[in-house]
Structure 1
Amino acid sequence: MKNTFEHAMPNAEGYFGEYGGSFIPDTLKKVMDDITTAYEVCRQDPAFHAELARLYKHFVGRPSPIFHAENLSRKYGVPIYLKREDLNHTGAHKINHCLGEALVAKKLGKKKLIAETGAGQHGVALATAAALVGLECDIYMGEVDIAKEHPNVVRMRILGANVIPATHGRKTLKEAVDAAFEAYMKDPIDQIYAIGSVVGPHPFPMMVRDFQSIIGNEARIQFQEMTGELPKNLVACVGGGSNAMGLFTAFLEDEGVAIHGVEPAGRSLTEVGEHAATLSLGEPGIMHGFKSYMLKDEQGEPQEVYSVASGLDYPAVGPQHSYLKDTGRVNYGTANDEEAIDAFFELSRSEGIIPAIESSHALAYAFKLAKSGEKGSILINLSGRGDKDIDFVVKHYGKDYGIESLVARVDE
């Protein structure tokens, strides 16, 4: 299945409508221009596409299948399907863009990949790509997330990456991004910041979107082959928004397909610092080198955010998502912690698939959509598997779901 990088947006300056751009120090402008030029060459190069396609097939295991969740479909009375990105090598969609970024870095002659990670999936995928192409790798991760996502920290270290704690602020994803940007500024020549979502200065929102668009390109063909039609609804979780843009992009021109992005409502949508519902409650602003919707405090600085899913607690969102919100093409809703954990166990016990907590937000919203009376088919992007979350879920929620006997073992 061919992946195409030919999209109408962004413009040459990296804008999706009024969002995006490149708000960076002058010292980084030439570096970003070089990355943009190198990527433009790559996206037009058949040999680059062929190499990426080879790695997707023989290394990642693509195409990832679509699975008809028949048990859930019977329960909710609507056809529910899952795009199984959890079956990719490394366990999530992140490997799609990490391989692409690693190949671009090699073309630029870089020696090191650096990045942030929240849930650890981007870190594991980038460490994997770095090992494959022969580059050094530094991963910045909040101290809270290091403790929470310990299995992924171990994987990164086994793969040869340096995992560097972010110890300021809330010690989660936003702080990891801060630390990675600071490290990148010290040496933008020999290393490249392989941004982990459709965020950051141009060309990263475009580049990551393009690499992730393989998800939707595959899903469009697979769903039609399976059902004879397009899905009536697409659902994906949104933190920075890479897995969602990966699925949504192939369907944006299909007016008959309703598209739903799901943000984390956390513990409370009314309390500051208790959610990360950027598109639902934020306003336009600039952070980390790009303009987009963001959650701001009274001083206009990034607001503290929270989600039970480490990969979703970011106070901004990809600029193309902001554009799609304003145009009304995508509906952005929310799911809270309790709903996500319920969905985590429901998929596990109904279909034998343990999802990532991030993906569980999309599941929870899809279940609410079905219960609201929606009768059309629902295709959910199952963006990652839950191996990384098992210890955390059992420790904090095990008693509520009848697995008390495991709690003591996890605490030891």
Structure 2
Amino acid sequence: MQLLGAKVEAVKTGTRTLKDAVDAALVDYMTNYENTFYLLGSAVGPHPYPLMVRHFQSIIGIEARRQILEREGRLPDYLLACVGGGSNAIGLFYPFLEDKSVNIIGVEPAGHGLETGRHAATITTGSPGIIHGFRCYVMQDEQGNPLPTYSVSAGLDYPGVGPEHSYLKDSGRATYVAVDDKEALSAFALLSKTEGIIPALESSHAVAHALKLAPTLPRDQIIIVNLSGRGDKDVEQVKALLG
């Protein structure tokens, strides 16, 4: 972004995660709305932002659908993608929503474990609420204030989730599960060693669930796992965590 001329400001308030970055951006936008255009890369926020992000990200699912039909001659049995705000996931899921034979699974971060409260599994443990100008599942207290969240992956560390994911959960079209830090780190290492592909820690959550799901299925079942990013950015963090 800096190479393209942008000035990047690091958020220094709160937990310094996505929630706090969005908070800071919205405060600045409201103060300087006359000469500011608000951009958002995740599938969250007020309309039309989730729709815009889904539209552009849907190229993921469009390409995946075309390629699997060319390669296998049929649709996949399962789609897996990590979910924080949910932009990569909704991009993969959307072109398959009308294909009822395709099972759709979003994978949330269970952090240190759901029972510890140190996680960001919003759909799994949250309740309907309002955050950043939109209604969705939120990790919140009794007054509706967002709760602190945690994940080994900063990109999944958000107390809300895209409104379309909330709808897909309520409608039953998609299922949402949670994977903890240890499982994600193990999947990160396994994919790196066996395939030479270093996945982002975000994507490693989806890989981890695929590793649990695959042994339960017939060998002819097809699973598409979306790798939303590369893990170069995470290698120092993983090195420190795994020793």
The 2-side partners of 1:373 and 1:228 are apart by 19
Structure 2 counterparts to residues 54-133 of structure 1, below 5 A: 127=1
User: Mean Cα displacement is larger for which, 358-367 or 182-191?
Assistant: 182-191
Aligned residue in 2 for 1:161:
6
Q: 1:300 aligns with which of 120, 144, 147?
A: 144
Taking the TM superposition and a 5 Å limit, the aligned residue runs for 1:2-401 are 127=1, 157-272=2-117, 274-373=118-217, 375=219, 376-397=221-242, 399=243
TM-superposed CA distance for 1:158, in Å, is 4.2
Match of 1:36? none
Structure 2 Cα separation of the partners of residues 396 and 191 of structure 1: 40
Q: Secondary structure at the match of 2:179?
A: strand
State the TM-score, normalized to the length of structure 2.
0.96
Structure 2 spans left out of the alignment, 5+ residues: none
Instruction: Work out the CA distance in 1 between the residues paired with 2:71 and 2:166.
Output: 32
What does residue 20 of structure 1 align with? none
In structure 2, what residue type is equivalent to 1:332? Y
1:255–1:335 CA distance, 2 compared to 1 (3 A)? same
Give distance in 1, aligned partners of 2:6 and 2:114.
36
- Which letter maps to 1:169? G
Q: How many aligned positions are there?
A: 242
Which amino acid counterpart does residue 197 of structure 2 have in structure 1? I
Where structure 1 has 5 or more consecutive residues not aligned to the other structure, the ranges are 1-126, 128-156, 400-412
How far the C-alpha of 1:191 sits from its partner, in A, is 2.0
Alpha-carbon distance between aligned partners in 2 of 1:309 and 1:391, rounded to the nearest angstrom: 13
Which letter does structure 1 place at the counterpart of 2:99? D
* CA distances 1:120-160 after superposition (whole Å, capped 9, x unpaired): xxxxxxx2xxxxxxxxxxxxxxxxxxxxxxxxxxxxx4443
Q: How many percent identity over aligned positions?
A: 57
What do the CA deviations read for 1:372-412 (whole angstroms, capped 9, x no partner)? 34541100011100111111111222x2xxxxxxxxxxxxx
**Counterparts of 1:387 and 1:191 in 2: how far apart (Å)?**
33
Q: State the alpha-carbon separation in 1 of the partners of residues 55 and 203 from structure 2.
A: 21
CA distance in 2, matches of 1:350, 1:189: 52
Residues 20-40 of structure 1 show CA distances to partners (whole Å, capped at 9, x for unaligned) of xxxxxxxxxxxxxxxxxxxxx
Give the RMSD, CA atoms, in angstroms: 1.2
How far off is 1:166 after superposition?
A: 1.9
Look at both structures and tell me which one has the larger radius of gyration over its CA atoms: 1
Identify if the C-alpha distance between structure 1 residues 228 and 178 changes in structure 2 by more than 3 Å, giving closer, same or farther. same
Q: Which range moved further: 296-305 or 360-369?
A: 296-305
Which whole-Å deviations, capped at 9, do the CAs of 1:50-107 have from their partners, x for residues lacking one?
xxxxxxxxxxxxxxxxxxxxxxxxxxxxxxxxxxxxxxxxxxxxxxxxxxxxxxxxxx
1:183-218 alpha-carbon deviations (Å, 9 max, x no partner): 111112322111121100000000000001111111
**C-alpha distance in 1 between matches for 2:199 and 2:192:** 7
1:173 Cα deviation after fit: 1.6
State how far apart, in whole Å, the 2-side matches of 1:349 and 1:217 are: 29
